[in-house]
A and B are shown apart, each in its own frame.
Chain A
Amino acid sequence: MEAAVFQPFLDSIQKELQAQDPAVLAVLVALVVVIISIIFMKIVWGRKTTRSAVLLVGLCDSGKTLIFSRLLSGKFKKTQTSITDSSAIYNVKSEKVTSQTKGRGFTLIDLPGHESLRPQFVERFKSAARAVVFVVDSAVFQKELRDVAEFLYSLLTDAEIVKNAPALVVTCNKQDITMAKSAKVIQQQLEKELNTLRVTRSAALSTQDGSTAGGTVYLGKKGKDFEFSQLPMKVEFVECSAKGYKAEDGEADIEQLEKCLARIS
């Protein structure tokens, strides 16, 4: 039946080709080339925009590089302040190894947390992020609360991150220290602080026409107190201890984090 539909079409094309009108031929050839190149470009660009990276971000000294090492190899490594990013392929560990879960992995990228390097690295990698693991040092959280909140605010109001809405896992690290705050407490304090930051940072949205320091996004809902559930992305709070509760070479307690990552991928 399709052949019957196409037949008169093909006949007309054949007639035109036989007429040997160079202009028509040229137009046809050009159209074909354009269509092929568009399809090609779509494939190439489409591949680039698949977001397959999980970013490890956080303040300086929060334990990102050690978590990176533990997730990938399970070993404890001494670390120094990172100057540049490190990346590796992470294969998800899951209990049931079926044909679906085997081989499912993503790129784990560890970004430096130092204040002068942070913006440019986040800028470089944010478009490729499928999930963001935000590492918080639970022991000194009270002192660093405002810095943590500011970094989190700048992440959450970034235009590209709001568009992609990657899952956010806030990891409360260093739980092995006795004075570490729990994930619930950290969540409450962050909500309060972000509530205040909304006011100081975004009150001038209507009158600005130059480039603004923060994004042009208002966190959460106006009129109500900020809560993480109001965000367009999925937010989870987990606790972990990259160093481990025993001696240096002991096991790290990152099970919750691994489960989270498994759920994301």
Chain B
Amino acid sequence: MLDFFTIFSKGGLVLWCFQGVNGSFTGPVNALIRSVILQERSGSNLFIHDALSMKYKLDNEFELVFVVGFQKILTLTYVDKFLDDVQLRFRDRYKNQLEQKGAMKLLNGSFQFQDDFQQLLREAEESTKACAPAPMKTFMQSQKSQKTVKSMIETRGGEKGKEKESNKKSKNAKKEASAAEGDGDSTRGGTQSGLPKKSSPKPQENGNEGLTPEEIKRNQQEFFRRMGGGGPKKPSSSSSSKSPKPEKLQRVKGNREWVMGGTNTKELDYSNKDMNGSQDTLPATKDNAEDLKQLGQMKGDLRSVDYESSEEEEEDEEVVVSAAAAANPSKSSSKSFRGVFGMLKGLVGSKSLSQEDMEPVLDKLRDHLIAKNVAADIASKLCESVAKKLEGKVMGTFTTVTSTVKQALQDSLVQILQPKRRVDILRDVMEARAQRRPFVVTFCGVNGVGKSTNLAKISFWLIENGFSVLIAACDTFRAGAVEQLRTHQRRLNSMHPPEENGGRPRVQLYEKGYGKDAAGIAMEAIAYARSHSFDVVLVDTAGRMQDNAPLMVALAKLIAVNMPDLVLFVGEALVGNEAVDQLVKFNQALADHSMSDKPRIIDGIVLTKFDTIDDKVGAAISMTYITGQPIVFVGTGQTYSDLRSLNARAVVSALMKA
């Protein structure tokens, strides 16, 4: 029944394996490790990969992993208990070899576990056969056949209510009742047999559940009143519902008075003043002075987000401090007298961690994370995963539960924030330049997160490093979107004048006005860039809510048709639980509407408005946890040089700071 069962050490050596079917299982197990254990999703212990479902168990004392795999379509009930049994048996048998520090014993030891395994498997399978689902009882065995008919007849007192009940009870026997009515006989058993004489004046009410006509009329009127006259038109009831309507239409809407708007539309036309014959650059005025100050600051790789209080030495202090403060957690969970001894016992000697020990600490840490703006269910998943990782682990001397759990949580947070693939945009752009094609980046996100602003910052960074940029204005909906990008283009060009670049402006804007199809504009922009050899194309899309289905389809079409090199989701750092919803729905929409085998989903995240949160940096964790993609840029302000890369350690230390 089982496809395979492996036991391997956390260092990667397979100690023992059982293969029920031919074919290597290294791939699926590696997928399990990478997506579950390394991404801190070990809360639930089931993982499905292609047609295989895998259950696993971590043994943290001896650093082992037990994995069992079976076909997805099977539902085997004994697997969990079986895993536990195998783990206990393996540990007991090979305790000496596993206890050694250092891998020599693992390498040299041979783990002949076959017989034990087969025996345990047989026991597990037999136990399921033993508790097969019970067969259904026959009617004769049930209690109902023991009762007499008379005992089930309702008494006459409170006729209406009881008849209603009995009518309700025997809804299936309605046909019987009407048939019995027709016959006028009461030969069949059941509740209706005693009733036909009483219910003969009310056969038509059987369908109405025993209500009188007056009651029916009253209910109908109430219903129509609530519906506002939307029900079937009955002259008696509709007149009452129509009366409130005409009152609503009394208010007449007057025209709104705009303060700044004149009646003359010529005043509203701003186009001529700035566009003197397709001028792409602003003349150098005093407004440019501030911009020019930023010139030359963005060469090379981005600086990382820095925190004044980010010190990696904080972690060492924590151990000392928490030893002194260890009295608090232990005292809260037990009586004060025992608490003192508990603290001492916890400090010295080796104790293995259990779920109960970690519970209070994890609860506090979960609340702390939520207070720091991490999404609520992600905080709880993280804490579960840390609990799974630490269960059964033996603590060294002079370490408390709090410090161990905090350290483990910190490690897993750093691990989540580390990018799982190489993030080097400049190198990829150079590669694309060598292949003579433009590097296409698409920005998507909900309304108002800073897509256009950060697009301008990224183009400043790119032109500082010597690339030429084409901005595609695919936001054809929002008023002023194209003009905004044009203003950015002019400012950027004034800082890096075209004379530097052999007469060609560094940044150009490709726009087709408003109301057109965004995907078409993007395709034309990319073709234009290829023919005029631009290095990078930055595609700005309109902001859209993740629930807006037609807009999500349009975005998916834009990305599927144009196949950009990088799809960046722009999210603001202020968002809380909403981040989870946004990212999940965006990814879902991109995957569903792409009509290809390998849909393009979000490749990276731009975290904006980072300067508005001082240390409530939880949104970074939520976003990377949900997508598994790295945070590529961090926006820290509204000027062109406010662009940084993510420093995982600094963010985690800000997060864990009390």
Contact = CB atoms under 8 A, between A and B. Distances in A.
Interface stretch (A78-86, A96-104, A254-262): A78-86
Interface residues of B, number: 53
Interface stretch (A11-19, A129-137, A173-181, A195-203): A195-203
Contact of B12 (A79, A89, A204): A79
B426 A200 contact: yes
Contact of A115 (B14, B30, B419, B430): B419
A101 to B, nearest CB: 21
Contact of A116 (B38, B422, B430): B38
B424 A200 contact: yes
A65 B266 CA distance: 75
B300 A78 contact: no
A204 B10 contact: no
A160 interface: no
Contacts of A49: none
A65 B12 contact: yes
A51 interface: no
Contacts of A213: 301-304, 645, 647
A146 B33 contact: no
Interface centre among A81, A87, A214 (most CB of B within 10 A): A81
A80 B8 contact: yes
B9 interface: yes
A251 to B, nearest CB: 16
A120 B312 CA distance: 12
Nearest to A201: B301
Given A88-B102, A88-B107, A203 B300 contact: yes
Nearest to B648: A119
A78 B65 CA distance: 14
A146 B411 contact: no
Nearest to B105: A88
A201 B425 CA distance: 11
Given A116-B420, A117-B415, A212-B304, A80 B12 contact: yes
A89 B415 contact: no
Given A114-B34, A146-B427, A83 B107 contact: no
| Interface size class, chain A | 35 or more
Given A80-B14, A81-B34, A87 B418 contact: no
A211 interface: yes
A69 B9 CA distance: 13
A82 B11 CA distance: 5
Nearest to A68: B103
Nearest to B39: A116
Contacts of A75: 107
Interface string A67-78: 011001101011
Of A86, A87, A110, A207, most B-chain CB atoms within 10 Å: A86
Given A110-B11, A200-B430, A83 B301 contact: no
Nearest to B107: A73
16 contacts: A77-B107, A78-B17, A80-B6, A80-B29, A81-B33, A83-B33, A83-B38, A88-B104, A116-B416, A146-B422, A146-B431, A200-B300, A200-B424, A201-B300, A202-B300, A213-B645
Interface of A: 65, 68-69, 72-73, 75, 77-89, 110, 112, 114-120, 146-147, 150, 196-197, 200-205, 207-208, 210-214
Given A78-B14, A86-B102, 10 more contacts: A77-B13, A78-B13, A79-B12, A80-B30, A116-B39, A117-B415, A200-B424, A201-B300, A204-B301, A207-B299
Q: What are the 10 A-B residue pairs with the smallest beta carbon separation, nearest first?
A: A204-B300, A86-B11, A82-B12, A203-B300, A78-B14, A65-B12, A210-B306, A116-B418, A86-B103, A200-B426
